[in-house]
Amino acid sequence: MSTFSAVDVIRTKRDGGVLSDEQIDWVVDAYTRGEVADEQMSALAMAIFLRGMTSAETARWTRAMIDSGERLTWPAGRPTVDKHSTGGVGDKITLPLAPLVAACGAAVPQLSGRGLGHTGGTLDKLESIPGWRASLSSAEIRAQLESVGAVVCAPTEGLAPADRKLYALRDVTGTVECVPLIASSIMSKKIAEGAGALVLDVKVGSGAFMPTLETARELAAALVSIGDEHGVRMTALLTDMSAPLGRAVGNAVEVAESVEVLQGGGPADVVELTVALASEMLSLAGISADPASVLASGEAYETWCALIAAQGGDPSAPLPQPTHVEQAVHAPRSGVVTRVDARSVGVAAWRLGAGRARKEDPVQAAAGVLCLAKPGESVEEGQPLFELRTDTPDAVAGALAALEGAVDVADSAPARTSLILETIHGRR
């Protein structure tokens, strides 16, 4: 017979109290086992949303979610390091980053997710490659880390099952936007994943989950604090997500752009952020290497090909192409683009079929948006600003509605702002 009750735990937090370690351990375990009902956990999640958690509570909540499942271990030899992004528009960085860091000598166990709403998912992008598979067993992940140095795949079923159950509940109860619950959700999976070091890419701006620097800084600090408590070497970069990253937003189109980067080309902002995150990851891993030169050498592209092939994909196969392509939204005047709103472009790509409204929805591999002009680039009056790609032409009207007012054009270029806004270091 348990000495705890869900109602008492809910009341403690509802009234502004601090949950004890024992209360947290019990309620997370009991919810995972089905002893605590969804409606009770919903009430507790709302109480946490309204009352918050101390850093000690958040760290303990994270530990309890980790302990609900397995912890992965990796082969000795290469130091393990991972990256997590809070999600953005055109955020394809994992695709060039994982093989680049592996080519520099680290092991990168990148367990990734799928897109929801206007932000894309790494697994959806990679699944546009013919034959590539996202689901691997722990043994397959371990073997690929030894042979290739990097793996990008879905989390195993045994990884933080409490988080998987709670995340679905938060999604339908209006409790997603809660820093302690976001931070513990992210870090429970990343710590259970077993990497020795973690670099966070916390997005800030219209296309990000955290639209302001203040809220992004709060989340980054919470994530780093949890990592510190669990002995994971941490760095968080706060990066700009007011405009899409690169030109491609979608699935296959983002794969194609990532391959350009791995072959020594690609958009400057994608290259800049890839190299910056790689530098931080290698620093935490204790590896002295110049990721920019490794990227330019083609070694990272070779690792990419090996990674894709190891997961059943054909890196040389043609990527899916849409049945309908349309250039749209014309420059209202000649001048310089000063703004391309990231959220508007993300919603347009989502409506074209690149994203999903619910986790079970399918996505179109070939759907998406190409940004034909980025901030700082000159345009002529009447020039098309976007290319819309879809297999469902009826979706174009909704995409055009999303893009209304998404671009500003002025006489002169805006002052160039840094892609990396702040850096927060853990205790190391």
Q: Mind telling me the catalytic residues?
A: 84, 163, 170, 185, 189
Distance of alpha carbon 294 from alpha carbon 290, whole angstroms:
6
H helices of 341-395, in order, are 342-349
Contact present, 244 and 207 (Cβ < 8 Å):
yes
Distance of alpha carbon 243 from alpha carbon 341, whole angstroms:
5
Instruction: Please give the C-alpha separations between residue 69 and each of 63, 141, 198, 234, 241, in angstroms, as whole numbers.
Output: 11, 17, 20, 23, 34
DSSP 125-191: HHTTSTT------HHHHHHHHHHTSEEEEPPPTTS-HHHHHHHHHHHTTT--S-HHHHHHHHHHHHH
- For residue 370, give the nearest of 391, 348, 402, 397 by alpha carbon: 348
Give the SS3 label for residue 282: helix
- Strand 335-340 to strand 378-379: parallel, antiparallel, or no bridges (unpaired)? antiparallel
Distance of alpha carbon 285 from alpha carbon 232, whole angstroms:
11
Q: Residue written as tokens 């190409």? A: 370
Distance of alpha carbon 150 from alpha carbon 281, whole angstroms:
13
User: What does the DSSP 8-state code read for residue 50?
Assistant: H
- Strand 420-425 to strand 81-85: parallel, antiparallel, or no bridges (unpaired)? unpaired
Q: Residue written as tokens 């980790």? A: 66
Give the SS3 label for residue 285: helix
Contact present, 335 and 411 (Cβ < 8 Å):
yes
Distance of alpha carbon 197 from alpha carbon 109, whole angstroms:
11
HSE-CB for 368 with a 13 A CA cutoff: 28
